[in-house]
Amino acid sequence: MNIDLQLKNLNDLFPSGFSEEQKAKAKTIFLKNFSQEAHRFYRGKMQTIPKCGIYGFNWFNIWYTPGVSKISTTIRENNDESFALSNRGNLVAVISDSTRVLGDGDCTPPGGLGVMEGKAMLMKYLGGVDAAALCVDSRGADGKNDPQKIIEFVKMVQNSFGAVNLEDISQPNCFKVLDDLREACDIPVWHDDAQGTACVTLAGLINALKLAEKKLNEAKIVLLGAGASNTTVARLIIADGGDPSKMIMFDTKGSLHNDREDIKNDKRNYRKWELCEKTNPRKIKTMEEAMKDADVLIALSSPGPDTVKREWIRSMEKKAIVFVCANPVPEIWPYAAKEEGAFIVATGRGDFPNQVNNSICFPGLLKGALLVRAKKITDGMAIRCAHSIADYSEKRGISPENIIVNMEETDLFAHEAADVAQQAIGEGVTRIVISRDEVYNQAKADIASSRKLFDDLKKLGHIAEPPAEMFETALAKAIEEVTSKQ
């Protein structure tokens, strides 16, 4: 069995008699099982190493006491010096209460560590940004998750970080946590599930509409799922020129419209109520009716593959655009959507064409915010990042099977950082002002340094290759499980 260490030949390793659906299921099972064994092998994904020289034990007199006293008193006189005299200026806190981890729901506070460490790894490898995973217990004395506990925690730790990335916090708590902290904190607070997903979805939609020869302000858009991600997608689409009267959103109880008293009366759902007031003026009630002649479907709902029905896709307008981004399994398999006439299909997974995943957004966006010591990340910065991704993708060439860049296109992140930084400077939310070229060059250098560090650790044997038996066992289990269900 010849398994490529880059995992690029997985489809070739499954039995020739497997259908497309069986291959898709087997890949998902393999990736989950192999992930568990790889995490156990490495005992997690991240570690802490110094970035300064230690040339003998006397250097601890410089890096620690007594020399470091000068650092403390300098920062005391000017807190902004903490960004230059410590790692704060390149450090992000990845904070979660693990109440909505991917598509797996509440995983208990430590259950989110795998995802939060993964986020930290992506920031380091793709954006040259250091990050720490912090999974907190937000439950109050009554056993219920209390958003105020997360808010107070972030406010207390903000002086140690240059930015905060919120992750996997269930709705409606996530809305209050983000909105309160954006105002209360003096550093950027970014909810990647919401803002990052919205940013990259908008980027993909911009290019998909170009390929379909359609305009954003004329497109009929159906949004399936009304959680933090999709409500923010809708908000950014509207802010960027989408027509809310041509948009229809669905949650688990039906479509959103201004007769939804259940949403209106629950003050925690104020973001959803805003969309009830703006969208679906005809008060269309069913997905079947909403999908008829729709130009775009954006699904961020329950994992599939049967959440989105084939007949819904079949009823859409010509050159239909279908984003099915649930994790770990999309709401409908891409091949099935294509069979029903979809022109462009995108998912959140990297093993299908058109990955619409925030991994191509947050590393560059946060890097840009950090380099200008931004005080917040505005919707304008997120929209600028979306256009940066779309523009970069278009310049290198797009097609129905390749609407936006992927994370292997390294130069994207430095361009994102530069564009976002300039937007932040223009909006007056930064501590320092530097040119676009300075941001781009520094981001590019930091990313290259981070990549080289990973490579050197592997070459020098500090990171061992996983044994071949680990691949073979995970693959055999996946094939056996799919075969046994025939």
Q: Which amino acid is at 156?
A: M
Token pair 């708590």 in the structure block, residue: 173
Measure the CA angle with vertex 408, ends 404 and 411; round to 5°.
80
Token pair 């027509």 in the structure block, residue: 243
Q: Which amino acid is at 289?
A: E
How many C-beta atoms surround the C-beta of residue 184 within 10 A?
A: 13
CB burial of residue 265 (10 Å; 0-12, 13-18, 19+): exposed
Which residues form the catalytic set? 64, 119
Q: Does residue 421 sit in helix, strand or coil? A: helix
Contact at 8 Å (CB) between 59 and 66? no
Q: Which of 275, 195, 287 is nearest to 238 (CA)?
A: 275
Q: Give the chain's radius of gyration (CA, Å).
A: 23
Contact at 8 Å (CB) between 112 and 86? no
The residues, ordered by sequence, that sit 6+ positions from 9 with a Cβ below 8 Å of its Cβ are 2, 3
